[in-house]
Amino acid sequence: MTETHRMISPEDAVYMDNNATTRLAPEVLAAMMPYLQDYYGNPSSMHRFGGQLGRVMAEARQKVATLLGAASEEIVFTSCGTESDSTAILSALQSFPEKRHIVTTRVEHPAVKNLCENLDSLTGHKHRLTRLPVAADGTLDLQKYEESLSDDTAIVSVMWANNETGVIFPIAEMARMARERGILFHTDAVQAVGKIPINLQDIAIDFLSLSGHKLHGPKGIGVLFVRRGTPFVPYLVGGHQEKGRRGGTENVAAIVGLGRACELAAEKMAEENTRVKALRDRLEEGLLASIPHSMLNGHKQDRLPNTTNVSFEFVEGEAILLHMDQYNICASSGSACTSGSLEPSHVLRAMGVPFTAAHGSIRYSLSIYNTEAEIDFVLEKMPPIIAGLREMSPFWKADA
């Protein structure tokens, strides 16, 4: 905030905003350091000092591929999840210029949503967009999905897990339905990778996006998985890097970091789905029990292990977050005021969450670095924050 520029130290932060970004794992930083400090060469160079980095990158690529159950030549490094999303969708449209239909959902991240909504001006063609609705618990209707697929469909782009609610879509089944009709399938798996097991060997996905900073890797690195044999048109055209699939000198340190992060994610996958999940459940149950007029947004089971999105009725999200901020508790909200727009989150609106609740939604997203003590702390601080704001709210009736 202005006027006071004191930094909030990482030791003080009670960080429960891991769907926004994650802490760089110390092991990842250690793996990156040599390539930030000493080995600054360009992998494309003819001399060994630069050229030797090609081997280093190959190792990292293999680690990413292993986490996904992919082959290393199917891994294309990009700058972020957003770039991966754009690359996949625009590639499919250019590969099938005669097809003008795209299937996606109402709850995609802006990286896919805003791209799909602006395709006409980007490509100079008119496109037909099917945005699949979701039920009140954030899940998709597979029959509606199947009915939407047509000969004119160039690509399906459906996220694996939702960043706001953590709700997981049945990607394997959806990809199979697209494959049966010869339609390319892209999934934005930015929130899923590292949190739930993924094995692309068994799944008919053609493109998958992930982002380093969501799995304790560095910012500024992403991956687009492109299945072998999938038609591909690059988005960044330039040098021959990434076998001509993505121009631009490689971000070697970040690539090495991402490789290490993927290795760690595989090691911690069990912990994420047991200890972290238990912390999440305790937080969620505690909040719902101690705060009246609070409710869970999203399907209780089909959900990422680290995410809970809870609405506190009759109070507004930004105000809640700023009170939490007084205790250095970090989370997010789907309220209008925090999104910078005037309407609450498109995800909650698509789920039909009533306005009384949508404006007061808070997303807590945990990681392996969270502790029991932090959950206790949040469970202690939240009820008085909500009660205090309700006291001030013209809609709150104490006996309601």
Partner 1 sequence: MWEYTNKVQQHFLHPKNVGEIDNPDGTGDVGSLACGDALKLTFKLDDKGVIADAKFKTFGCASAIASSSVLTEMIIGMTLDEAAKVTNEDIADRLGGLPKEKMHCSVMGREALEAAIANYRGLKLPMAEGEVVCECFGVTDLEVIRAIQESNLRSVEEITNFTKAGGGCGKCLDRLREILVATTHQGSGLVQIVDKNKRPQRMTTLQKIKKIEEALEREIRPGLRKDGGDIELVDVDGDFVLVSLRGACTSCTKSRTTLKEFVEKKLRELVLDSLIVEEAK
Ligand X SMILES: Cc1ncc(COP(=O)(O)O)c(C=O)c1O
Catalytic residue positions? Answer: 337
Q: Which residues contact 367 (CB under 8 A, 6 or more apart)?
A: 15, 18, 22, 23, 216, 276, 306
Please compute, for residue 24, the number of CA atoms within 13 A of its CA located in the half-sphere on the CB side: 16
Nearer to ligand X, 105 or 311 (CB): 105
Of these partners, ligand X, partner 1, none, which one is at the site of residue 394 (CB under 5 to 8 Å by kind)? partner 1
Region near ligand X per CB under 6 A, out of 77-85, 257-265, 357-365, 366-374: 77-85
CB of 317 to partner 1, least distance (A): 8
191 binds ligand X (CB under 6 A): yes
Region near ligand X per CB under 6 A, out of 117-125, 184-192, 339-347, 365-373: 184-192
Place of tokens 């007061």: 360
Interstrand relation of 75-78 and 361-365 (parallel, antiparallel or unpaired): unpaired
CB of 359 to partner 1, least distance (A): 5
Report d(CA 301, CA 275) in Å as an integer: 16
Considering only residues 96 to 155 of the shown chain, the ones binding ligand X according to CB under 6 A are 109, 111
Q: Which amino acid is at 249?
A: T
Q: Read out DSSP for 43-67?
A: TT-SSHHHHTHHHHHHHHHHHHHHH
Of these partners, ligand X, partner 1, none, which one is at the site of residue 287 (CB under 5 to 8 Å by kind)? none
H or E stretch at 103: strand 101-105
Instruction: List the x/- string, 217-246, binding to ligand X by CB under 6 A.
Output: -----x------------------------
> Which listed residue (14, 116, 190, 198) binds ligand X by CB under 6 A?
190
Of these partners, partner 1, ligand X, none, which one is at the site of residue 4 (CB under 5 to 8 Å by kind)? partner 1
Instruction: Return the bridge partners of 291, or none.
Output: none
Of these partners, partner 1, ligand X, none, which one is at the site of residue 256 (CB under 5 to 8 Å by kind)? none
> Which listed residue (18, 22, 82, 241) binds ligand X by CB under 6 A?
82
E strands within 133-276? 153-157, 184-188, 207-211, 222-226
Nearer to ligand X, 138 or 389 (CB): 138
159 binds ligand X (CB under 6 A): yes
CB 19 within 8 A of CB 307: yes
245 binds partner 1 (CB under 8 A): no
> Which listed residue (187, 211, 306, 338) binds ligand X by CB under 6 A?
211
Burial class (CB in 10 A: 0-12, 13-18, 19+), 37: exposed
What is the separation, in whole angstroms, between the first and last Cα of the chain?
36
Taking phi first (over 0 means left), then psi (-120 to 50 degrees means alpha), and beta for anything else, what does residue 192 get?
A: alpha
Region near ligand X per CB under 6 A, out of 62-70, 86-94, 185-193, 370-378: 185-193
Exposure string over 71-83, b if 16+ CB within 10 A, otherwise e: beebbbbbbbbbb
Of these partners, ligand X, partner 1, none, which one is at the site of residue 216 (CB under 5 to 8 Å by kind)? none
Region near ligand X per CB under 6 A, out of 117-125, 149-157, 183-191, 253-261: 183-191
Nearer to ligand X, 17 or 242 (CB): 17
* Binding region for ligand X (CB under 6 A): 80-82, 109, 111, 159, 163, 188, 190-191, 211, 222
**Contact set with partner 1 (CB under 8 A):** 1-4, 314-319, 322-323, 326, 335-338, 340-344, 355-356, 359, 391-395
